[in-house]
Amino acid sequence: MIKALQLLRSTGKAKLQLEASTLTGSGSGAGGRVEALDAFASLRYANPFRQGASQQVVAQSDVQFVVKTGNAANATNPWLYAITPDSGSPNVATAIWQLPMRIVTAQLPVRTAAMEDIPGLAPVLASDLALEMSALEAASMALNDDQAGSSTTSTGATSGLRGLASYPGGAGAAAAFGSSGSAITNGRHTVRTVGVAAGTMTRADLISIANALPPQYWSLPGTAWMMHPTVMQLLRQQGTAAPTFAEVGNSDGGAVVNVFGWPVIPNNYLSDGATAGQFSVYLCNWPRFLHIVDYGDIDLQMMEQTAPGFITIIAQKRMISTIRDVFAGVRAIAT
């Protein structure tokens, strides 16, 4: 004890080794030590959008997206050598939209004693914190409205991502690129949308959704469904005598694991479709439909001086998400 106090005065930091006490007998809470086993954290549901979307890493604070619209070939008779320099066919143009990097942060204070006493705690906390931030970005990608007056505060509102549910398009809407420009109001594309009765989903509904996706995207790698798990359960429960989606007992043919040849990705961050106006099912060629831009990696710092007796883990990541090719995806809206 005396040596520890002397070391504390000279260096500002000391450790005091305490031997197990037997003065008060044995048993829980009556002396001795408690051994902490390796730490673990329950698995979080990470961002399923990253399973299919195209992803890019940049070092800019804003990113501008460009799309070519219209046809460059001669609209009246392309089977000629009638080439005119510096001119093109009608309706040949480009549209742009620009989005700023959005920031998601987290702060986790942990007692220094816990970090020292629990083996493996630091990497577990870092991994769990990364998954927690992945869940936050997924919810924002699915539901957030980034426009002025937004009420989606839990997913970031005007400081969050441009969520898929915020893009225009009611039942029967056709796909179209949004307005061109660098304002935050530009690039809000209209998504092809199929109406489905709220709280239901049938095989006929899925056929309508599939037929709404242009056939040039059908056979491309990355074309897949994303469904809320509740919708998957609705489909599995239909027709107990003659199931619509039969369970054949293996992973390749499991009920609603693949539908019409396209894999199904469960996405708990989508709405469940129980209320009118919710989007519960998407069928997209995800590498073309959704684009995610990351600013480098997640920045993790461990600070020892934020509070006495604590180590504070601070995490930060910056990112953008946007619909890139609006014609590459179809969604269902509850009506």
CA 299 – CA 315 distance, rounded (Å): 6
Question: For position 140, what pLDDT does the model report?
Answer: 96
pTM to 2 decimals?
0.84
CA 150 – CA 139 distance, rounded (Å): 15
Tell me the CATH architecture of domain 48-70+91-334. Answer: 2-Layer Sandwich (3.30)
CA 330 – CA 335 distance, rounded (Å): 16
Question: For position 21, what pLDDT does the model report?
Answer: 46
CA nearest neighbour of 183 among 59, 56, 64: 64
Question: For position 20, what pLDDT does the model report?
Answer: 47
Q: How many CB atoms are located within 10 Å of the residue 139 CB?
A: 21
CA 293 – CA 100 distance, rounded (Å): 10
pLDDT in tens, 267-298: 999 999 999 999 999 999 999 999 999 997 77
Q: Which residues of the chain register pLDDT less than 50?
A: 1, 4-5, 16, 18-24
Question: For position 85, what pLDDT does the model report?
Answer: 63
Got the DSSP string for 171-210?
A: TTPPPB----SSSTTS--PBPEEEEE-TT---HHHHHHHH
pLDDT in tens, 50-80: 999 999 998 888 999 999 887 777 667 777 7
The token duo for 325 is 């090719």
Q: Cβ contacts of residue 235 below 8 Å, gap of 6+?
A: 201, 202, 203, 206, 244, 245, 255, 256
